[in-house]
Amino acid sequence: MPRAHVAAFLALSPAALHSGIMALPPRACAARVSTNRKKSRSMTATAIDSAIFRDIFSTAAMRHIFSDENRVQKYLDIEAALARVQARLGVIPAQAAADIISHCNLAEFDMAGLKAQTERIGYPVLPVVQQLVRLCRDDLGEWCHWGATTQDITDTATVLQIREALALIELDIAAIADALAELAQKYRDTPMAGRSNLQQAVPITFGYKMATILAAFERHKQRLAELRPRALVGEFGGAAGTLSSLGGRGLEIQAELMRELELGQPEIAWHTLRDRIAEVGCFLGLVTATCGKIALDVKLMMQTEVEEVFEPFHEGRGSSSTMPQKRNPISSVYITALAAVVRQHVAALLDAMVEDHERATGPWEIEWIVLPEIFAMSAGALSQTRNLVAGLQVDEKRMRANLDLTRGLIVSEAVMMGLGPYLGRQYAHDLVYDICRQVVATGRPLVELLAENGEIARHLDRAALERLCDPANYLGQAGEMVDRVLAMRRA
């Protein structure tokens, strides 16, 4: 490297050294940085915010809910509601409340200033309050934030975001359930191989397979309905949760504030009891894990050797850069990744529950990091699942062909149970076991070897054996179970 280039290299800041442009000479580096700045005013480092990946791993609607702008507006909505309630109760002057409320509009706030102040102070609420106070005329702004503490506003804003976010989650769950119900109904009686330890087990129906997953999504609907009253509860407790700065009127103000915000009133402060937030995270972990189960089954069923279902077809989707014949699973791959990361983030939320005393030193901030990401990635997983299930392509003929792959071995249990009344269950099991080994060794169909066995032929003729060996005749009560799940939706 020329001496001038060495000197330029040593003069670079650590940020430049980590920017990935050091393979270029200094002038080229400067040109590259300048060009990149012209192309994009802000750099993104995560898949959630990436201009390329963000709508694969998340959704615009969910990102908006957890955006800086929406969060700050939530702080202002709470400050306005608090001023409105306290004026109504005679705690602060009505004139002050009117002035405070008139300025609780994000458009009036300097976001760059909020960033700088938050970095200096360490918390985001006080900078908002400081700007709000300055926006008010005379000294009326001094009545802002009366009796509240930073965590009251922060936690209540988070709960308001959760309420908005759960509404989106609910829509996706309902849409996925609807698509699964259509598949369960349409393929109620379509036989396919049930699988255990990745081996063919006994016949089931594809409708039954879809109905088992549908039942899980119906349970998720119930879980969501049950957790809302526990999770959608605001916080207003003051410094240590006792509302001591408001004399004897704290609980009265708290009740009115929560009524104003349409949130539940806490029975006691929950500044360092984070089960409400953790429960929401655990719920999303359950939902996305169910999406992951769908993705795993689809990936396995899309294998060349199976080919029973396919993801929705779009021109070029799933193609390989080197193998023209490939049709790779795409949504399933993203769902798998998203569900796995959500589960890991849920563990972090559980860590955030272990907090010290009445106001915590660190665990609370874990939520600031992982909760928005949990929701963003859950939205991505649900969106991918919704599209996958709604457009799933099913190959009934291939399902039937795969049932016949083992030349009848998949119905060996049916044969054993059919012979049991004549030969005894254990003896029938051992006899059919030996004949199954002959099927494997010779490649001949099970029904032929059964018909040639003298002991069996004394009790069942060829027609009876063929009925026993037809997978469509050994579906148990799969159809009735599908009907029960569908009926549960209508109840």
Within a domain: residue 153?
no
Task: State the amino acid at position 334 in one-letter form.
Answer: Y
Within a domain: residue 294?
yes
User: Is residue 310 domain-shared with residue 423, that is, in the same domain?
Assistant: no
User: Is residue 425 domain-shared with residue 483, that is, in the same domain?
Assistant: yes
Torsion over CA of 155, 161, 162 and 164, rounded to 10 degrees?
150
User: Is residue 311 domain-shared with residue 460, that is, in the same domain?
Assistant: no
Q: Is the dihedral angle over the CA atoms 318, 62, 151, 76 positive or is it negative?
A: positive
| Alpha carbon distance 451, 457 (integer Å) | 6
**Which pLDDT score, from 0 to 100, does residue 326 have?**
66
Catalytic residue among 67, 244, 245, 320: 320
Cβ-contact 83, 96 below 8 angstroms: yes
Within a domain: residue 110?
yes
**Which pLDDT score, from 0 to 100, does residue 299 have?**
97
Q: How many other C-beta atoms are found inside a 10 Å radius of the C-beta of residue 274? A: 23
∠ CA 459-461-466, rounded to 5°: 120
**Which pLDDT score, from 0 to 100, does residue 25 have?**
47
Last residue of a domain, one of 395, 430, 456: 395
Say which CATH number the domain at 307 has.
1.20.200.10
User: Is residue 280 domain-shared with residue 354, that is, in the same domain?
Assistant: yes
Catalytic residue among 163, 259, 327, 359: 359
User: Is residue 388 domain-shared with residue 307, that is, in the same domain?
Assistant: yes
- The range of the structural domain enclosing residue 437 comes to 402-490
| Alpha carbon distance 239, 251 (integer Å) | 14
Q: How many domains does the chain have?
A: 4
Cβ-contact 383, 330 below 8 angstroms: no
- Report which secondary-structure segment, H or E, holds 224: helix 206-231
Say which CATH number the domain at 461 has.
1.10.40.30
Say which CATH number the domain at 262 has.
1.10.275.10
DSSP for 69-102, written as a single string: HHHHHHHHHHHHHHHHHHHHTTSS-HHHHHHHHH
Question: How would you write the pLDDT of the chain (491 residues) with one tens digit per residue?
Answer: 444 444 443 444 444 434 343 344 445 444 444 444 444 456 888 999 999 999 999 999 999 999 999 999 999 999 999 999 999 999 999 999 999 999 999 999 999 999 999 999 999 999 999 999 999 999 999 999 999 999 999 999 999 999 999 999 999 999 999 999 999 999 999 999 999 999 999 999 999 999 999 999 999 999 999 999 999 999 999 999 999 999 999 999 999 999 999 999 999 999 999 999 999 999 999 999 999 999 999 999 999 999 999 999 777 666 666 666 668 899 999 999 999 999 999 999 999 999 999 999 999 999 999 999 999 999 999 999 999 999 999 999 999 999 999 999 999 999 999 999 999 999 999 999 999 999 999 999 999 999 999 999 999 999 999 999 999 999 999 999 999 999 999 87
Whether 137 is a known active-site residue: answer: no
Which two three-digit tokens encode residue 432? 């059919």
**Which pLDDT score, from 0 to 100, does residue 325 have?**
64
User: Is residue 259 domain-shared with residue 361, that is, in the same domain?
Assistant: no
User: Is residue 6 domain-shared with residue 86, that is, in the same domain?
Assistant: no
Within a domain: residue 286?
yes
Cβ-contact 102, 143 below 8 angstroms: no
User: Is residue 262 domain-shared with residue 275, that is, in the same domain?
Assistant: no
Within a domain: residue 52?
no
Whether 54 is a known active-site residue: answer: no
pTM value is: 0.89
Within a domain: residue 425?
yes
Within a domain: residue 113?
yes
User: Is residue 252 domain-shared with residue 277, that is, in the same domain?
Assistant: no
3-class SS of residue 62 = helix
**Which pLDDT score, from 0 to 100, does residue 43 have?**
82
**Which pLDDT score, from 0 to 100, does residue 320 have?**
62
Task: State the amino acid at position 487 in one-letter form.
Answer: A
User: Is residue 221 domain-shared with residue 324, that is, in the same domain?
Assistant: yes
- Closest C-alpha among 167, 148, 128 to residue 257: 148
User: Is residue 385 domain-shared with residue 472, that is, in the same domain?
Assistant: no
**Which pLDDT score, from 0 to 100, does residue 44 have?**
84
**Which pLDDT score, from 0 to 100, does residue 171 have?**
98
User: Is residue 367 domain-shared with residue 277, that is, in the same domain?
Assistant: yes
Specify the long-range contacts of residues 124-127, CB closer than 8 Å, at least 24 apart.
124/71, 124/72, 124/75, 124/154, 125/75, 125/150, 125/153, 125/154, 126/150
| Alpha carbon distance 21, 16 (integer Å) | 8
Within a domain: residue 43?
no
Burial class (CB in 10 A: 0-12, 13-18, 19+), 446: buried
